Homo-oligomer: A and B are copies of this chain.
Amino acid sequence: MSLPAEFALIARHFRPLAGAGALDLLDDAAVLDLPPGRRLVIAADAMVEGVHYLPDDPPETVGRKLLRVNLSDMAAMGAVPLGYLMTTAFSRGIADSWIAGFAQGLAEDQDAFGVTVLGGDTAVTPGPTCLSLTILGTVAPDAVLRRVGARAGDDIWVSGTIGDGLLGLRVLRGEVPADAEGHLARRYRLPQPRLALGQAIATVAHAGLDVSDGLVQDLGHLCRAAGCGAEIAAAEVPLSPAARALLARDAALLPALLTGGDDYELLFTAAPDAAAAVRDAAATAGIPVRRIGRMLAGPTEVVARDASGAVLDVARGGWSHF
């Protein structure tokens, strides 16, 4: 009996990615054991063609981004990733070479991040491709980084640089000029999950998350969870040289950088007297961090001030596909 195309596709492209517990993707489910004494951490994120990635993005980076946005959720919890399940609804008539490139990207990042595929499902859709990934990780019981827990008076810290994802999207859409190095487009297509940093700060920070919806909006999540406010100094928010160059041409970009999505940096708060411990943790992880503001007693709102002390209009409050 010949097998239908779906099974051949899984065998050709996805079975080589399977790891321990996946039962070679031949069973109805994966079976695995957690390392003793660790808690299970689990999250899921979806990506839709034309919404979360561009139809002409290379398939390798689409696969890598799908895995990385989920790994970023593990970073945000201080977790060590273990593996993932994936469901793919490929656009009907998609080229086999696209799926091969997508799987190749996954394979590269599996090696880079030490994870393997555990299971999933493959289907087709008459619409644009819909991808969904569920990431599993583990964490020590006393080292879970949560959104809740920020306190008035805490310093607010952020990793890496902010705004590159938004600008990368605008570059790829031809709305702003590209930087010569291609940094911005690369940042949109290949976020950097800050796993080592998340693990290093989990017991130092009071609260944290990854910036996926926009810095201001995600800081708002920390405020609502804590029942307090926040004030950030826009001039302290770390920007890449490419972002600085665009901002120098158009100062009105600043609120967009603070509210654009797709950063996948870690945003967290810690007591002021923990600043040295935060810097030590960041140095150990090899990931730059910057102190950008302070949590405040009072209403659960985020205020961003420019270098002159004026309040910036960031009321749009972040990115939503709805």
Interface residue ranges, A against B (CB under 8 Å): 1-7, 9, 23, 26-34, 39-48, 50-52, 72-74, 76-77, 79, 85-89, 118-121, 123-128, 130, 132, 134-137, 139, 144, 146-148, 209-210, 216-217, 220-221, 225, 301-302, 315, 317-322
Contact = CB atoms under 8 A, between A and B. Distances in A.
A73 B126 contact: no
Given A89-B130, A134-B134, A320-B5, A121 B45 contact: yes
Contact of A85 (B43, B47, B144): B43
Q: Give 7 nearest A-B pairs by CB, closest first.
A: A127-B127, A4-B320, A130-B130, A29-B43, A5-B322, A132-B132, A46-B87
Given A42-B118, A123-B46, A320-B6, A28 B128 contact: no
B42 A125 contact: no
A139 B32 CA distance: 10
From DSSP, what is the main secondary structure of chain A's interface residues? mixed
A5 B2 CA distance: 47
Contacts of A47: 123
Given A28-B209, A29-B41, A210-B28, A51 B126 contact: yes
